[in-house]
A and B are shown apart, each in its own frame.
Chain A
Amino acid sequence: MRTIINFIICICLFSCNENTEKFELCSGKTHPYYYPTLEYKGGFYEIKKHYYSNYKAIELPNNTGIVKISFNINCNGKPGNYFLETYSLDYKNIVITKKITEQLLSLTKSLNDWIPAYDEDGNSVNSHKFFAFKIVNGILTDILPK
């Protein structure tokens, strides 16, 4: 019985530890994704494949517009600090169904092969990055910028 209780406590502690693992930026500045260049294993080709093959079209109201997800990648290549905004196709703030935004956020969080950017001194740095997804009638039609 004691072994079972210890085992359950261990499981609880392990899962708590996993949930509370916080994202932290490394010391120093945060740079835009384009300078110095932040990369992803396999390039944007892999990123596009990831979204287009995993995204499921949603046939619900409020299913057209642009979903922008911005986030940081720290100097160890770990992503976090996700922030989401939604625009109409003529660039005004609108509401897009959560079935779409949550799906895209989850797909973005599962991109885990970031290669951190390196400054001129050869040190890895923090970057900020975003993706803008164009959704037309629930279908993913475009991903910007790269």
Chain B
Amino acid sequence: MTKKSKWKKRLFITIASFLGLIVILAIVFNQLVYTLLIGVGSMDVYIGNNERGNKIMSCALSKIKKPNENTYHAISVQNTKNGNYNIAIPALEKAYRINPEEVGAYYGWVLLYYYHDYEKALSILNAYDDTTPNFSDWPVGECIHYLKGLAFMQLNNYEDAIKEFDISIENTSSEHREDWVDEAVFVNKARCLYNLNKFEVAIIALERVIGYSDKCTEAYYFMAISQVELDQKEKACQNFNKAYELIKKGYKSSDAYVELFHEIYEKQVEEAILKNCKN
């Protein structure tokens, strides 16, 4: 081969490689732009432009060659927060079908808190929990047994709810200490006991919470509710007043997005005092 033809071959390879690189970059960049557009649409939905934001996301999605679970998840999140359930759930279903092990944790959690779809939440959380036997999962930072307990509680299945809350308490206590258990687990367990007319046991559970955290307004309030049932009016009023004093100071369980299942309000405590403690 002559020097000239070698040089020509090298030039051809260089140009071909360069063009190939441009094509690859164009494809990647193109896909990146559409992925970024999903974010732009989501931001638009965030500020309340539901229709326009979703049009942007829908257009971008149609151009993405192989959308993955993260793409569908991104579409779903802001639509859930704005109550666009007809868009959020189909997107989340697609994400779940692509990667049930990764998406199941969030899906079960969001169905419980944001949709109050307790049966479906339980089924997704159970499926997710089954993927890791002998290991207690923590979807979105919350113990899976606590989440399952909440779903059972909301379905008025208090016995199974208590079983799940107890597993949650046991797991955390054995891994760390009992005072590491979130006070909400005890409070909700006590609420289930109350619904089963086990008022004394409910009070014991709430006393444990107060032992660990004397600023737990909900513990005082729900203890007072049980004491009313036991006709312990004086103790009940002391606890209602303690709850009122704490809630006035801002000690209260709440979440920015949704109402918590054991959430109580200043007005609610005020009404309980008026009803039970004023002659």
Seen from chain A, the residues whose Cβ lies within 8 Å of a Cβ on chain B are 29-32, 34-35, 37, 42-46, 66, 68, 70, 72, 85, 87, 90-93, 128, 130-132, 134, 142, 144-146
B85-A29 in contact (CB<8A): no
Smallest CB-CB separation from B268: which chain A residue? A45
A75 to chain B, nearest CB (A): 14
**B86 close to chain A: CB less than 8 A:** yes
Task: Say whether A44 contacts B265, CB under 8 Å.
Answer: yes
Q: A45 and B265: CB pair below 8 A? A: yes
CB neighbours (8 Å) of A85 from chain B are 84, 86
Contact A145 B259 (CB under 8 A): yes
Which B residues from 84 to 104 make CB contacts under 8 A with A? 84-86, 88-90
Contact of A70 with B82 in the complex, beta carbons under 8 Å: yes
B85 and A34 within 8 A (CB): no
Main secondary structure of the interface of B (DSSP, over half): loop
Contacts A37-B256, A145-B114, A145-B259 given; does A32 touch B81 at CB 8 Å = yes
Known: A32-B81, A44-B265. A87 touches B48 (CB 8 A): no
| B86 and A87 contact, CB distance less than 8 A | yes
Question: What 16 new A-B contacts, CB under 8 Å, besides A43-B267, A70-B50?
Answer: A32-B48, A32-B81, A34-B256, A42-B267, A43-B266, A46-B267, A70-B83, A91-B86, A93-B86, A128-B47, A128-B48, A144-B114, A144-B115, A145-B257, A146-B257, A146-B259
By a CB distance below 8 angstroms, the chain A residues around B83 are: 68, 70, 130-132, 144-145
Set A42, A87, A90: member contacting B265, Cβ < 8 A = A42
The complex places the Cα of A90 from the Cα of B90 at a distance, in Å, of 10
Within the complex, the shortest CB–CB distance from B89 to chain A, in Å, comes to 4
Using C-beta atoms within 8 Å of the partner chain, give the interface range for chain B: 20 to 34
Q: Which 10 interchain pairs have the tightest Cβ spacing?
A: A128-B48, A45-B265, A146-B259, A130-B83, A91-B89, A34-B256, A91-B85, A145-B258, A43-B265, A30-B48
Contacts of A132 in B (CB 8 A): 83, 85
Total A-B contacts with CB atoms under 8 angstroms apart? 71
From A30, A43, A46, A145, name the one whose CB has the most chain B CB atoms within 10 angstroms.
A145
A34-B257 CB under 8 A given contacts A45-B267, A70-B83: yes
On whether the beta carbons of B86 and A29 are closer than 8 Å, the reply is no
Q: How many angstroms between the C-alpha atoms of A37 and B268 in the bound complex?
A: 21
- Per-residue contact bits, chain B 32-49, to A (CB 8 Å; 1 contact, 0 not): 000000000000001110
- For A131, the chain B residues whose CB sits under 8 A away are 83
> In this assembly, does B255 line the interface, its C-beta being within 8 Å of a C-beta of chain A?
yes
In the complex, 18 of the A-B residue pairs with CB atoms within 8 angstroms, ordered by the A residue number, are A29-B47, A32-B46, A32-B82, A34-B257, A35-B256, A42-B265, A43-B267, A44-B259, A46-B267, A66-B85, A70-B50, A70-B82, A85-B84, A85-B86, A91-B88, A128-B48, A132-B83, A146-B258
Q: Which residues of B contact A72 (CB under 8 A)?
A: 48
Binary CB contact string for chain B from 141 to 177 against chain A (1 if under 8 A, 0 otherwise): 0000000000000000000000000000000000000
Closest chain-A Cβ to B47's Cβ sits at a distance in Å of 6
* Chain A positions within 8 Å of B86 at CB level: 85, 87, 91-93
Q: How far is the CA of A144 from the CA of B263 in the complex (A)?
A: 14
Complex Cα spacing A90 to B86, Å: 9
Report A-chain residues with C-beta under 8 Å of the C-beta of B84: 68, 85
Contact at A31–B47, with CB atoms within 8 Å?
yes
Complex Cα–Cα for A145 and B240 (A): 27
| Min CB–CB distance B72 → chain A (angstroms) | 15
Q: A145 to chain B: which residues have CB within 8 Å?
A: 83, 114, 257-259
In whole Å, how far is B114's beta carbon from the nearest beta carbon of chain A?
Answer: 6
Q: Min CB distance, A68 to chain B, in Å?
A: 5
**B82 surroundings in chain A (CB, below 8 A):** 32, 70, 128, 130
A87 with B266, Cβ < 8 A, contacts A31-B47, A144-B114, A146-B259 known: no
